[in-house]
Amino acid sequence: MSDHVLVVKVGGDHALNRRGVCQDLARLVARGQRVVLVHGGAADLDDLARRLGVRQRRLTTPNGTSSRYTDPATLEVLQLALLGGFKPGLVCELSREGVSAVGLSGMDGGLVRARRPRSHRAVVDGRTQVVRDDHSGRITAVDPALVLSLLEAGRVPVISPPALGEDHRPVNVDADRTAAAVAGALSAAGLPTRLVLLTAAPGLLADHTDESSLRSEVTLAPEGGVGDAAVGGMSVKLRAARQALLSGSVSAVIADGRAPSPVLGALAGQGTRVRVAEPVGSQP
């Protein structure tokens, strides 16, 4: 059996090769690799919201961070899309490949806990306002006990938002950060982890309009920004990778989820390997 746990995050972009991800994980599991699969589902959520007539909006904080406005109606759609659609699809695909998978949300067993601000200022539809009904938040803790028990039993946990809030209600959290937090919690529990974040790009690009400008490696400062080349969701992925590495993960890679073998390709060196620089003054 492998001496580490592979944590793979796959997003909801329709261009991603979900079947290829599951086939790769099946091959790895057959070799004795312990795997945790974390998923988002933004595209599936948007599709379902459109069908149900639930308007989707974005929040932009004063520092420029953009996120989904998770009002009560969107929170309901999120749970339907992720827990009722995307996750069962992954579990069934893994089962078809001979893998025993168990679907979980961050709420199950208090796996992922989060704090939702009661109110905050944000720009909505071009106007700055105080938002009080946004059910998004930040991860505060991960209890890996349930994941550890499933791994011990030879199962593959399939995890997604939402997390469990301090008020015991669901909180929408970022899936990349969820994967990083789970990887960090497993590392802290004594199981070394490797993190693979799959996206609809070859990895981090020097020019986000040119897929041939892939950067094979990037070194981030232990804190602060992640560089001008990172735009949109890539910035979040870099921060998540850094979080996992600082929490004890052995490696973190951002790779192309559209590839024929997305996970095996990432493990073979495709994509962008993320490193964290030594803090200034840490060397003798």
Q: What is the pLDDT of residue 229?
A: 57
| Contact by Cβ (8 Å): 256, 270 | yes
Residue 168 makes CB contacts below 8 A (sequence gap 6+) with: none
Inform me whether the pLDDT recorded for 180 exceeds 90. Answer: yes
Rounded mean pLDDT, 251-258 = 98
| Contact by Cβ (8 Å): 175, 112 | no
Inform me whether the pLDDT recorded for 126 exceeds 90. Answer: no
- Which residue did the predictor score with more confidence, 66 or 55? 55
What confidence tens digit (pLDDT) does each residue in 134-171 have? 899 999 999 999 999 999 999 999 999 999 999 999 99
Rounded mean pLDDT, 164-191 = 96
pTM here?
0.93
Rounded mean pLDDT, 180-201 = 97
Q: How many CB atoms lie within 10 A of CB 137?
A: 21
Q: What does the alpha-carbon distance between residue 270 and residue 200 come to, in Å, rounded to a whole number? A: 14
Rounded mean pLDDT, 247-256 = 97
